[in-house]
Each structure stands twice: as structure tokens, then as C-alpha cells.
Amino acid sequence: MTDLFGGWDYIIVGGGAAGSVLAARLSENSSANVLLLEAGKDTRPENRPANFRGRRFDLDMNAHPDFWWHSLRARVHPSLDPIPFQAGRGIGGTSQVNGLFSIRGVRNDFDRWVALGAEGWSFDEVLPWYIKLEDDLDFPDAPHHGKGGPLPIFREPREHWGGADHAFHDAARDLGVVWHDDTNAPGATGLSPFAMHIRAGKRVAVSDGYLEPARGRTNLTIRSEVLVDRVTFAPGGTRAVGVELAGGESIPVAAGGEVILAAGGTLSPALLVRSGIGSGDDLAHLGIDHVVDLPVGQELTEHPFIVLPLPIPLEKAASPFGRPVNVTWRYSSGLAGAGDNDMMIIPNNGWLGLPGVCIWQMHAVSRGKLVFTSRDPLAGPLAELRMLTDESDRLRARDGLEKVGELVNHRAFKNILADSPALPTIDQLPAATFASHHVATTVRMGSPDDATTVVDPDCRVLGTEGLRVIDQSVMPEVVRGNPLLTVLMIAERMADRLKSSPA
């Protein structure tokens, strides 16, 4: 065991989904001392507010402010004003407060990753780690699923669906959409129940599944309510030697140890920039000494989420357990070369008090960027999402609107509608579009020879030693599914690599 006066073997910054996995898995090696640092609170499962325990989810940041970052802002489209950007804060991160959605990326996502320079990240190569993380409660014996893993995967039976779910299902099936019992099965394009990280009706955050069983280990230390300002480097060099907290405390890594950033798609890039790793212009603007010139925050991708309210009385849309959505239609538009399952349409049983239907663009061509405006570690960057600015995304959004028009004019919806539905035009869509809070590719993984790459396929920050980023920011493209399971897969896979080949 390393002498702690000489530093930690691993310092993990960020106790959210990726950080929880890394801390739990790396501390399985009893000879490695692991320190997990989290800016938010450490709330144990039994102390979590009721709003975050069951099938519901509550995105009101003012109701439980300790569970959110309040300094992040995003502009969805260049024509709109910036709005708050929601990201979970505390041990467990966004998995404590999210919509519970648990959908994998598809094979074509990883074909594209490899083509973009992420060698070794093909679907067949990552599948064992998707399996490892799961305790699939519905398909435990399927060869593509896991049994006994840290995160339960559950699909709500139809008798517990809401009114919008049932109308959506009946209309889609009548229009010829194929049914699949498992949306995470290979080749599952069509209508399926929504997979969620739930057991016995209760949310299981990533920290519940991973960190709770690991808390008794003497080689794992969890420090909450500590804000990391920057990574520190050897004098005049590029080897990471520790981190410095906002209050000035320095925490060293051991000789040969590593600093791992796992703070997410907006905060890991901000931490890199404060540490002197970013574009020359960003560093010069903020007056930060240059360590490595890399395009941090420059290749942002996000899933546009288009909310289409319908005149459905809440009592006709509601589900027995208050769940906003229990079924999804994933489809391939066949437009603009977007590939498999680039689109998703879901019903809304009353989220935000707006029953209706939502379009989710699961493959986004539009690219945004992070704008770094302050050295203050609490400030966070502005996310310029630039959604629906690429013509491909607009074309596929228009196609989605046409499909929604067919659905809501079907008799299944007419049975619950109080009035005729009115859908927006394509030019009105930016005002109906929300962030999914799935910001990715801001610390893009790829070939070291590619000018857009920040980390190599082993998640090592180019031009440095002893520094990695392991979270959704490293995705070469955001996957065509809610990113949680893919984040866990990345962290599981990298933890195994680190344990087999320690620095």
C-alpha cells in the first residue's frame, strides 16, 4: 500500500456516474489507494428526497438545490437567450436526479467511433462491459445482457403505463411500427418499453450500485463538498502531480500515480482549461499559463429534445406511478446518411404539466462549443449548443414532425384529446427544443494525429503524463441513446485497463 504522505495512486475528480464506477472498481485492488473528490454532498440512498426515490423525476432545481449545479448555462439555438443548464451535483451525480433512462448506444455508433480514430472501441469490443454493469431484471439470461451487475435494468409492464403511453403504443402499432420487448437488444429498431435503472419501484443511482458496497474498504477515501480548482503539474513539465482545491489545499499523487477527471461533459473541460490545457485563445483570454494546446470544448454534441404539447387532460394522460414515459419508438430516418436509430419519439404522460409527444434526435450533426468565461471553479462555461443549425438535423426534425402528425391524428389519440392538435412548423422548432443534458465530445477521443482529438483511445490527455479524462466528454460522438449506460461502460472498461496496466 502506498504511503499516503507520498500521495494517492488515483485521484478521481467528480463523484458522479463515471467517478463512482472508477472509485469502486479501482479500489478492488487492495494495494491501490484511491481518493474520490466531489464538489457536492454525499447523500446516502435512505436520505435522498422522496422526489428522487421512485419512478418520477423532478427537474425543479429550486426544490432541492443541493442536488444541482446552479452556475451552468446553455444557449439551445443562436436565436435564443441562454438558460440554466441542468447537471446533477453530489455523490452519484446526475444519476440521482435524472429521468432514469437506460438505453445503450447502437452498433453503428461504435463503428463511427472507430472510424473517427477511437481504435479499440468497436461494438464487439465494448459489449462485455455493457454486460458487466447490468443486472437486467427482465432478460437476465440473454447473451447480450448481464445478471448480477451493479445497476438494475427494468421495463415497466403495460398495466402500469399512462394514458399517453397507451395511445402512443396503439397508434404506432396500427401504423405498422414493429414491437420489440427489449430496446437494448441488438437490432431493436421500433417500439419498445423504456428501460430504466430501477429495482422494486425505487431509483438505483450509480453510487448506490457501485459505491455503497465499496465504502468499507480502507483503501478508498471519499471526500465530498470539496471543489477542485485545477490539476497541478511538475515544475516546467507536463506530468500531473496532483490537484489543488479552491481553498488552496494541494493533494499529491504518488510517484507513477494518476489524476482522473470524471466531472462530465461541461465541468471536465472547464477543469482542463483552468489547469492550462486548452486552446491558446481560451487560455490567453483567461490569463492562464499554457501547459498544452488542445481543442478542449470545441466539438460539442448534444441530443435535441423537442417538446410537443397536446390538448390532453392530465387525468387522461397520467400513469399510475406518475411516470412521464414508459414506451419509446426508435427508428432510422434513412435521411442525410445519419445511420441506424438516429431518431426517437416518445409520449409524455404529463412531464412539465404538458402531456403530448416529444421528438428526440439521437444523432445530432450540429456542433456547438463551450465558451470559457471565468477562472472561477464555481462559474462553469457557457454551452453554446447550436441545436438544429445543421440542415441534416432540420431535415430529420421535419420528418419527425410528419410522423408525430400521423400519430396524433390516429383514433387512439383522438380518444384522449380534448381539442384538435396543433403542431409547430419547422421554423418554430428552436423555441420548442430543450437540452437533453447529454453534452459530449468536448474532450474528444480519437487518433493523436487528428487536430480535433484531446484524449487518445486510452483516455490519456495528449501531451501530458499521469492525466486522463474518463466520462461522457470523451465520446467521439454522442451515442444514439441516453448516455448513462455508455458512460458506465467506458468507466468499467477503463478501470479494467488501469488495473491490468497500472501507471
Active-site positions read: 438
The Cα–Cα gap between 238 and 235 comes to: 8
Other CB atoms within 10 A of residue 216 CB: 7
Q: Could you give the C-alpha distances from 305 to 83, 344, 345, 436, in angstroms and in order? A: 15, 10, 10, 6
What contacts 91, CB < 8 A, 6 or more positions away?
15, 20, 38, 40, 41, 42, 43, 207, 211, 222, 224
What pairing do the DSSP bridges indicate for beta strands 240-245 and 250-261? Answer: antiparallel
* Spatial distance between the Cα atoms of 457 and 468, rounded to a whole number of angstroms: 11
Q: 459 and 6 in contact (C-beta within 8 Å)?
A: no
Long-range Cβ pairs for the range 69-75 (8 Å, 24+): 69/267, 69/380, 71/378, 71/379, 71/380, 72/266, 72/380, 72/381, 72/383, 73/380, 73/382, 73/383, 74/382, 74/383, 74/384, 74/385, 74/435, 75/382, 75/383, 75/384, 75/385
One-letter amino acid for residue 323 of the chain: R
d(CA 153, CA 141): 13
3-class secondary structure, 461: strand
Compute φ and ψ for 488, nearest 5 degrees: -65, -40
Cα 462 from Cα 33, distance rounded (Å): 25
Which residues have CB under 8 Å from 395's CB, separation 6+? Answer: 335, 336
Instruction: Answer whether 25's CB lies under 8 Å from 492's CB.
Output: yes
Alpha-carbon distance 435 to 424, whole Å? 18
Neighbours of 198 (CB within 10 A): 20
Report the first-to-last Cα separation within the chain, whole angstroms.
15
Contact 339, 112 (CB under 8 A): yes
